């Protein structure tokens, strides 16, 4: 199988997803907080909204591989499994094994390892104690640069561990971005839609200075926007606190300036249209209660370089 997915906006060819089912019934008024959901959901509608999303990808000629189908003998899936992005990462050199912060999700990387073995994708990196690492904290501006957020889920140790594995092999530049305590993952506050266009929530990614690592060069400490100015000619579309909560930046690109976004982000959609971005809006009245957006629900296996 061909594999390798880095740059966020290169054409998406193959993706790993988890099709939710009755396990979502575990989300009750007593359990939703412990299970990292925002609220109780209607499980059948949750499933239907996900099916609509998958059908869109199918219509776009993107091959969808379902985690729960290739691991049908395993019964350990939980409601969070729908957010597959957090539990793995696939680079051209192999997969990154995560180590998740939340106890209820701690076994997901084990299942993901089984899936990668089934898909015959080799391991590139394994996160070890005391490191914590989650896939939602990775954003790829291009094929040679990796942005890694760390804060509530990925910790600094996990970020440094994977930086050492990626630098010089997968990427020429790795940027470590400290996140505020309320910013769960980097991909909720920053996303590249093209080499020169980003969606971002300023307080999420500009509160603290970043560290820039390049092979055989001194570490550079500077604000993220200064790093961007030195390396990209960007059009920057800021989002509000309210839009952040509604996953306004948590979009997944199917190609350059073509992305899937929750339909209620109307102001963002209108502004993206002004930048000639092809928008595919999806329903998510139940999905978003799980605490994730389109980027969270997709784990790219292959993007065209």
**Residues 270-304 pLDDT 10s:** 999 999 999 999 999 999 999 999 999 999 999 99
What architecture is the 12-303 domain classified under in CATH?
Answer: 5-stranded Propeller (3.75)
* pLDDT (0 to 100) of residue 74: 85
The span from the CA of 82 to the CA of 104, in Å, is 14
55, with CB counted inside 10 A (0-12, 13-18, 19+), is exposed
40: left (phi over 0), alpha (psi -120 to 50) or beta: beta
Phi then psi for residue 17, to 5 deg, are: -140, 165
**Residues 52-101 pLDDT 10s:** 999 999 999 999 999 999 999 887 789 999 999 999 999 999 999 999 99
Instruction: Provide the pairing of β-strand 235-238 with 197-200.
Output: parallel
Residue 103: is its pLDDT beyond 90? Answer: yes
224, with CB counted inside 10 A (0-12, 13-18, 19+), is buried
> Which residue, 178, 177, 175, is CA-closest to 219?
175
Q: What is the mean pLDDT of the chain?
A: 97
Find the mean pLDDT for residues 253-261: 98
In this prediction, what percent of the chain has a pLDDT beyond 90? Answer: 97
The span from the CA of 162 to the CA of 178, in Å, is 15
* pLDDT (0 to 100) of residue 156: 98
Q: How confident is the model at residue 15 (pLDDT cuts 50, 70, 90)?
A: very high
**Residues 132-172 pLDDT 10s:** 999 999 999 999 999 999 999 999 999 999 999 999 999 99
The span from the CA of 305 to the CA of 300, in Å, is 13
* pLDDT (0 to 100) of residue 134: 98
Find the mean pLDDT for residues 258-269: 98
Instruction: Provide the pairing of β-strand 299-303 with 12-17.
Output: antiparallel
The span from the CA of 260 to the CA of 279, in Å, is 6
Domain ranges of the chain: 12-303
* pLDDT (0 to 100) of residue 1: 83
Q: Which residue has the tokens 């990775």?
A: 138
Residue 305: is its pLDDT beyond 90? Answer: no
The span from the CA of 193 to the CA of 187, in Å, is 12
For 209-218, the CB contacts below 8 A with 24+ separation are: 209/178, 210/175, 210/176, 210/177, 210/178, 211/175, 211/176, 212/173, 212/174, 212/175, 213/163, 213/167, 213/173, 213/174, 213/175, 213/176, 214/167, 214/172, 214/173, 215/167, 215/168, 215/172
């Amino acid at each position: 199988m061909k594999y390798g997915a880095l740059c966020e906006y290169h054409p998406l060819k193959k993706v790993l997803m988890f099709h939710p089912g009755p396990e979502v019934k575990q989300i009750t008024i007593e359990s939703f907080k412990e299970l990292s959901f925002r609220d109780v959901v209607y499980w059948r509608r949750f499933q239907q909204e996900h099916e609509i999303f998958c059908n869109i990808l199918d219509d776009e000629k993107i091959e969808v591989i379902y985690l729960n189908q290739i691991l049908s003998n395993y019964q350990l899936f939980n409601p969070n499994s729908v957010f597959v992005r957090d539990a793995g990462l696939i680079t051209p050199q192999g997969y990154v094994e995560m180590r998740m912060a939340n106890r209820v999700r701690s076994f997901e990387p084990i299942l993901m390892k089984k899936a990668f073995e089934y898909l015959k994708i080799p391991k590139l990196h394994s996160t070890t104690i005391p490191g914590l690492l989650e896939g939602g904290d990775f954003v790829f501006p291009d094929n040679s640069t990796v942005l890694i957020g760390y804060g509530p889920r990925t910790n600094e140790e996990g970020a440094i561990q994977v930086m050492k594995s990626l630098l010089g092999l997968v990427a020429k530049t790795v940027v470590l971005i400290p996140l505020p305590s309320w910013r769960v993952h980097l991909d909720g506050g920053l996303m590249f839609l093209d080499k020169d266009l980003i969606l971002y929530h300023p307080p999420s990614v500009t509160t603290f200075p970043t560290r820039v690592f390049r092979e055989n060069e001194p570490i550079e400490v500077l604000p993220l926007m200064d790093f961007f100015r030195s390396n990209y000619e960007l059009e920057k579309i800021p989002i509000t606190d309210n839009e952040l909560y509604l996953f306004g930046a948590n979009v997944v690109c199917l190609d350059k300036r073509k992305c899937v976004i929750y339909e209620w982000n109307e102001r963002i959609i209108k502004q993206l249209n002004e930048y000639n971005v092809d928008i595919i809006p999806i329903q998510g009245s139940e999905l978003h209660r799980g605490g994730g957006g389109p980027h969270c629900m997709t784990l790219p296996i292959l993007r065209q370089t």
